[in-house]
Amino acid sequence: MPAPPPESARSGAWAAAAEDDALLLIAEGVTQIAGFGVAAISVARDDGHMQVMAVAGSDDARQQLEGRRTPIDALMTELAKADDWGMLKFVPHERLDLGEGEWGWVPDVEPLAGDDAWHPMDLLVAPLHDQDGTLRGSLSIDLPADGRRPGPDQRRVLELYAEQAARAVLTALEREELAAQVRLADTARRIVRQASVQPSLEHILQTSRPALTEGFRAIGMWIQTFDEDGLGTGSVYSADGAVVELPLDLIEIAETAARLLWAEQQVTVVAAGRPLGVLTAEQGTRVVDFLHAIEVGSILFVPLGAGRECLGNLVLTRPLHAPDWTETESAAALDVGRDLGGAILNVRAYEREHRLVTELQALDTYKSQLIATVSHELKNPLTSVLGHLEILESVEGLPGPVRTSLNAMERGARRLGRVVDDLLLLAKVGDPDNPVVARPVDLRTIVDDVVELTAVEAERRHLTVTVEAGSEQVLASGDATELDRVVSNLVSNALKYTAEGGRITVSVARVGSEVELLCSDEGLGISAEDQKQLFTEFFRSSNPAAVAQPGTGLGLAIVSRIVQRHGGHIAVESELGKGSTFRVLLPAA
């Protein structure tokens, strides 16, 4: 069966994927009923080639022809010389320009005598068109059983088979297109589902590689990303996560091409003999030479981006002699480029947040170390000051003004001592290298002890302090000293900010897997604006009545730090003039 020289043979996997039983049945009908030894049906591909899909009648012809790809332009050049037999086009062997060695398959028969004898080099083809007149395939016929060129009756039979072949080719192409759309849509869904939650580009490649290579039938892939400022060449990552060492000129070509293609919302195929698209002739030659050097036949080059910003490019590769990329694959690849662009933005946002968190953690650690250092440096001098003040106060006969000054100095020193103690504790509970050594702690006992220690102050100001707890132990998991400080600070604050005659209620109970501590008062209350910063170091309320009370602004910050490092939670409900309720939840023991 004569045909223009084949471009390449399909691989077995591609042949199996495209084979269609309906086309083979029609080809077999031509050989078994219409009286011909060989019939072949081909389909037109997007890359300008005719691909043989079904061959009937001869095992030798099937082995040589099935899967072969023939340039459509070469076929149409030969058919321009043909006799017009309606749907059939006949080119006598004497009009063909190609030599015998250039035929795809030639039957080994001797032609009969006579003008109507069939010659092994004769070409009989029915081009198959759709309703718009677009060439979609062909039916090639060879080796008539009687050895003669077909007459009018036989041609009519062949035309019926050509009509059936045309319908079958269109159906096969539509089915193939639908299958490709489903396959690529599944690829896009898998990529969106997997890549959108990945914390790094390496993870994006690892999770999306199977979907991309299988969905697009590629043998490899790599991604180039641009720097966040959009000015650099960024990095190139292969599917296995390794950094790809591409020549600098190719990286620059890829970056320029990606930006142009993203602006036009297009992808491009780079291969020998293909239009260059956005590449110059020199750039196209350089890229194709590089691809051949690494045994890659073609690439689908996809820009990655989000909005107006181009973020990089994706390259999918196919081997030499593999089928070309289809328009459906190109459209799907552009959608994937948008999805991966969004994933890259998510990764960059995550990385920026991670860097920020790391910097804030380092700053917080430095602040804790600074507080601890300064506090220790203040502790020793304060101890010395207080010691000498006690010595001076024991001296008899001191004038009244001197003794008044000494008392004021002692009060100031002791107040400063409390600040230093709070700073040291704040640094301790905020130190990540000082974890909690958790043990069962009876929170009910701690509450009773704290209330007992503050009973004198409560009685002096006519405050009623009520403890609501059962007779059973309420065990929390934590450090007893630190949990004692939590209860002490909350109760002390309630006493400090509640007017004379008010009520304070402290309750503790087991709630599921946690222990709940509540401390309610009828004090000044806290505004909604102040509640936002209530647990911040050195924060003092904007309420003048609260500011009038002495304090360091560290008590609630210490409480919050202790609760957090115990794996608990603290919250406050408050209204100005009506009081506050602090709720602490801690892991139960």
Q: Structural domain boundaries of the chain?
A: 7-178, 200-348, 353-430, 439-587
Q: What is the pLDDT of residues 435-482, one digit of tens each?
A: 888 899 999 999 999 999 999 989 999 999 999 988 889 999 999 999
Euclidean distance between CA atoms 118 and 120, whole angstroms: 7
Query: Residue 101 has what DSSP assignment?
Result: G
Q: Cα(first)–Cα(last) distance of the chain, in Å?
A: 87
CATH superfamily of 7-178: GAF domain (3.30.450.40)
pLDDT (0 to 100) of residue 225:
85
147, 353, 401, 557 from 397: Cα distances, Å: 146, 66, 12, 45
Q: What is the pLDDT of residues 337-360, one digit of tens each?
A: 998 888 888 888 888 888 888 888
Dihedral over alpha carbons 531, 537, 539, 545 (to 10 degrees):
90
Output the CATH code of domain 353-430.
1.10.287.130
pLDDT (0 to 100) of residue 446:
94
Q: What is the pLDDT of residues 281-294, one digit of tens each?
A: 999 999 999 998 88
Dihedral over alpha carbons 481, 486, 489, 495 (to 10 degrees):
-120
pLDDT (0 to 100) of residue 529:
87
Which two tokens mark 344?
């890259």
* Mean pLDDT of the residues in the chain: 84
Residue 106 predicted with pLDDT over 70: yes
pLDDT (0 to 100) of residue 101:
43
pLDDT (0 to 100) of residue 5:
36
Output the CATH code of domain 439-587.
3.30.565.10
Q: Where are the beta strands (DSSP E) in 122-267?
A: 123-129, 135-144, 220-225, 235-238
Please count the helices (runs of H) and the strands (runs of E) in the chain: 16, 19
Euclidean distance between CA atoms 454 and 452, whole angstroms: 5
Output the CATH code of domain 200-348.
3.30.450.40
Which of 51-60, 396-405, 446-455 is predicted with the least confidence, judged by mean pLDDT?
396-405
pLDDT band at 3 (very low <50, low <70, confident <90, very high): very low
Mean per-residue pLDDT, 225-244: 55
Q: Examine domains 7-178 and 200-348 and report if their fold is the same.
A: yes
87, 183, 207 from 188: Cα distances, Å: 42, 9, 12
pLDDT (0 to 100) of residue 19:
46
Q: Is residue 533 within 8 Å of residue 397, measured between CB atoms?
A: no
pLDDT band at 233 (very low <50, low <70, confident <90, very high): very low
